[in-house]
Structure 1
């Protein structure tokens, strides 16, 4: 059964963040964007999200800190640095196979 997945997308490239948000919301998923590490960690600790989505531009230390916060709150992490919408959905479906609509392309 499909659920309304909630994403926190973190990265520093505005154009990429806009595209990621559009592609994820096209699947009827909820997306919040954070560009600052402290903002993202606060969001993870206060809101119920399913996936922390890491995009380009973050430092290794920031990624480590975000992953640690996600682990503390049982949030799954996807490291996505490009590859198109097909790869994007495949990454989500690997974590949540019930989200895949077997009737669509």
Structure 2
């Protein structure tokens, strides 16, 4: 299976750390965190991502810029709900049926 590269964006350090830990614990998933639009745009130049998760603290204008920068991949708004929802959002965005 191809490794899934996920960019997670959020301004709350503790929440971002938790989301990254959860995502990186999934076999075959590699998550990278960013806490600002500037960091997202820098990472866009250096990495190839399969999906972008936008979390709390990112305003509408920055969300719009992120969607423009990553116009060819899914961009998901994630504002909590537990690990099950987090995983389901990634699976749905990438049209993947999770293994049981």
- Give the alignment's TM-score, normalised by structure 1: 0.86
**8 Å Cα contact 1:45-1:69 kept in structure 2:** no
Which stretches of structure 1, 4 residues or longer, exceed 3 Å deviation after superposition?
none
- Report the more deviating stretch, 47-56 or 34-43: 34-43
Q: In structure 1, what is the Cα distance between the partners aligned to 2:39 and 2:14? A: 19
CA-to-aligned-CA distance 1:29-63 (integer Å, 9 cap, x gap): 11111112112012123321101110000111111
More helix by share: 1
Contact 2:53 2:78 in 1 (8 A): yes
The 1-side partners of 2:63 and 2:94 are apart by 22
Q: Does structure 2 conserve the Cα–Cα contact (< 8 Å) formed by 1:3 and 1:99?
A: no
- Aligned residue number for residue 30 of structure 1: 30
In structure 1, stretches of 5+ residues that fail to align are: none
| Bigger Rg, which one | 1
Displacement of 1:3: 2.2
SS in 1 for 2:96: helix
- Per the normalisation by structure 2, the TM-score is 0.90
**Structure 2 segments unaligned to the other structure (5+ residues):** none
Q: CA 1:24 to 1:99, structure 2 compared with 1: closer, same or farther past 3 Å?
A: farther
Alignment root-mean-square deviation, CA: 1.4
